[in-house]
Amino acid sequence: MENTSFSISINTSREQVWNTLWHDKTFQDWASIIDEGTYKKGDLKEGSEMEFISSVNGYGVTSKVETLRPQEYVLFRHRADTQDSGQQARDDEWTGGSESYTLTEQGDGTLLVLTMDIPREQEETFAERVPKALERIKWLSENA
C-alpha cells in the first residue's frame, strides 16, 4: 500500500466541513465520487466499528474508529475487506491500512487533509477520483 495525502482549502468553518464529511446525505454525495453508491453504517465514536459499503457492488471495508477529535481529526484503521453488503469477508485489499481526515483552521476557512493507504493497483483511480471528491466536499460545505 502507498500512503498518500490529498488536501483542499475550504472557505467555511471546521464545524461545517466536519458536518459535510459525516452527515449521511452529504457523505453519500461526495463518497460516491470515489466509489459509486458508497454509504456508511455505524456510529462515529472512538473505539467503534464502521462499515463503508458500495450499494452498487456490495464491496466495502469494516474500519475501527481509532482516534476521534470531533471537528478536528479522525483516524480509521481498516480491519476487514467485505462483500455482499458487509456480510462476507473477501480477499484482503484494504485490511491493515489507515485513513485519516484532519481539519485545521486556516484564516477564515479550513484546510482539509485526507491521508490514506491505497493499494498499489488502486493508486491511479484514487489519484483521479479523490481530488474530485474533495472539490465536492468544498462545494457542499461552502453552499450549505
Domains delineated in the chain: 2-142 (3.30.530.20)
Strand 49-54 versus strand 38-41 pairing type = antiparallel
Per-residue pLDDT tens for 80-136?
A: 877 665 555 555 567 788 999 999 999 999 999 999 999 888 899 999 999 999 999
Q: Which residue has the higher pLDDT, 65 or 97?
A: 65
Three-class secondary structure of residue 23 per DSSP: coil
The residue written with cell numbers 462499515 in the block is: 51
Q: How many angstroms separate the CA atoms of 131 and 103, rounded?
A: 16
Three-class secondary structure of residue 10 per DSSP: strand
Beta strands (DSSP E) in 49-97 are 49-54, 60-69, 73-83, 88-89
